[in-house]
Amino acid sequence: MSVTSALVEAALSARRSGGTCFTTEIEAKFEADTLAKRNQRLITGLLVSAPLYNLFLIADWLLVPDVVRLAIWLHVLVVTPWMLLAAWLISRKPRPFVRECLAASVPLLIIMQIDLCFAFTNSPGAAHYQYVVIPTLLYTNVSLHRLRFASARAVTALIVAIHVSLVLWVDYISSAVAAIIVIQVIICAYITLVANYTMERDLRRSYLFSLRDRLLHAEADAASRRDPLTGLANRFHLDEALKEIWCASEFTNVPVCVIMVDIDHFKRLNDRYGHGAGDLCLKRVAAILSGELRFGRDLAVRYGGEEFLLLLPDMDLMEAVRVAERTRRSIESAAIPNALGLSGVVTASFGVAASIPSDLGSSDLVAAADQALYAAKSNGRNQVWPPLATKISLIDRTSKSQVGSQ
């Protein structure tokens, strides 16, 4: 299911009550749109944080000098290398779950380093050493490394559980000091999680507004390129497609075909049976024309009134004539009633022209196809011009048009 403006609008309405979760479709779109920025943020955060983290060795030296050697080894051989490795792994664009696990592992390693030193020290300044947990929580939930809320919630719970358990386990801290430490860590965890939640919520809400605006613009742009009755491209879209083909250097030596299509005796059908019948006829013919297109390459256009145009890049004249003849038979076989027609059903006439862009301008190619259509109608309608059975050759070299002669 693709993401539409209506789906985004529904998500915006649902999010007025808060929350940081999207539907599956919008979450996938959010992840795809923010992937590069999210990866870069984490990589930058890890690279900047690595030297900042090692500045905490000053706190180790001042507060727990008896375990400063352990702290240095953990800093240099474990945590810092893992931060750099995590940054490299994230640069490889892993799956979102793997990326968030890598990001979450860093603050967990930091808190384990802090608590290992805290567990083995006998220094009188150890009671103050635990305050380095607070910057770790800020780093996890608010600053450069800020985790997604779901990850931040889980990591924060683990940090609090590990550190509080250790504070209550060691016997060199009095009960009063331990209580103060526990209360401060829990308050810090709560405040940073609230900040993380608020930032995540606002980020996602801002993304929804931006996505809605982009989708509305895209839908309006698509509507401006489509005929509202048949759903085919309109003249504006055709002009853009022709300009793109003629401007693209890779198409210089590749033929482009244009097929002009006109529904036979349509005005008489419309006058006799009314506009409702005429509109239904146009829709059914448009559906048949669309069915003949190569996906992603060709373009079907409602050219005006009962006239249609097929733009077929990278197709020679003979193949285009075959496509036109097959389409003509499909329209006739559809048996759309038209008692005023020659055979009692709706039929159509086709004019085909082809050229390479370097030999003929786009407007001249369309004019050549229109001339071929006029020949088909003049010769009795319900046919393709040039006919498939005849030898197709170039005529009117002075006008650079490529059509066939019987």
Residue whose tokens read 């479709």: 25
Residues 6+ away with beta carbon under 8 Å from 159:
107, 108, 111, 133, 136, 137, 140, 189
Identify the pLDDT of residue 214: 92
Residue 66 included in any domain: yes
pLDDT per residue of the chain (406 residues) written in tens, 0 to 9: 688 888 888 888 876 656 678 888 999 999 999 999 999 999 999 999 999 999 999 989 999 999 999 999 999 999 999 999 999 999 999 999 999 999 999 999 999 999 999 889 988 888 888 788 888 899 899 986 788 898 999 999 999 999 899 888 887 777 888 888 889 999 999 999 999 999 999 999 999 999 999 999 988 888 888 999 999 999 999 999 999 888 875 556 789 999 999 999 888 888 888 888 899 999 999 999 999 888 778 999 999 889 999 999 989 899 999 999 999 999 999 988 887 666 788 999 999 999 988 888 899 999 999 999 999 999 999 999 998 654 444 434 333 444 443 3
Identify the pLDDT of residue 236: 92
Identify the pLDDT of residue 259: 96
How many Å apart are CA 401 and CA 395, to the nearest integer? Answer: 7
Counting every residue, how long is the chain?
406
Candidate list 306, 319, 325, 332, residue with the active-site label: 306
Residues 121 and 36 in one domain: yes
283 touches 228 (CB < 8 A): no
Identify the pLDDT of residue 393: 43
Residues 204 and 274 in one domain: no
Q: Is 66 exposed, middle or buried (0-12, 13-18, 19+ CB in 10 A)?
A: middle
Residues 263 and 154 in one domain: no
Task: State how many domains the chain has.
Answer: 2
Phi-psi region of 354 (alpha: psi -120 to 50; beta: other; left: phi over 0): beta
Residues 248 and 214 in one domain: no
3-state SS class at 183: helix
Cα separations in angstroms, 175 against 8, 84, 179: 53, 39, 6
Phi, psi torsion values for 188, nearest 5 degrees? -60, -40
Residues 6+ away with beta carbon under 8 Å from 173:
126, 127, 167, 181
Cα dihedral across residues 46, 47, 48, 51: positive or negative: positive
Residues 267 and 338 in one domain: yes
324 touches 259 (CB < 8 A): yes
Residues 165 and 267 in one domain: no
Residue 228 included in any domain: no
Residues 156 and 206 in one domain: yes
The closest alpha carbon to 150, from 109, 200, 91, belongs to 200
- Residue 198 structural domain: 5-219
Identify the pLDDT of residue 124: 82
Residues 34 and 81 in one domain: yes
What 8-state DSSP symbol labels residue 16? G
Residue 269 included in any domain: yes
Is 292 annotated as catalytic?
Answer: no
How many Å apart are CA 352 and CA 345, to the nearest integer? Answer: 23
- State which H helix or E strand residue 37 sits in: helix 24-54
> What token pair was written down for 368?
């050549």
At 375, which amino acid appears? A
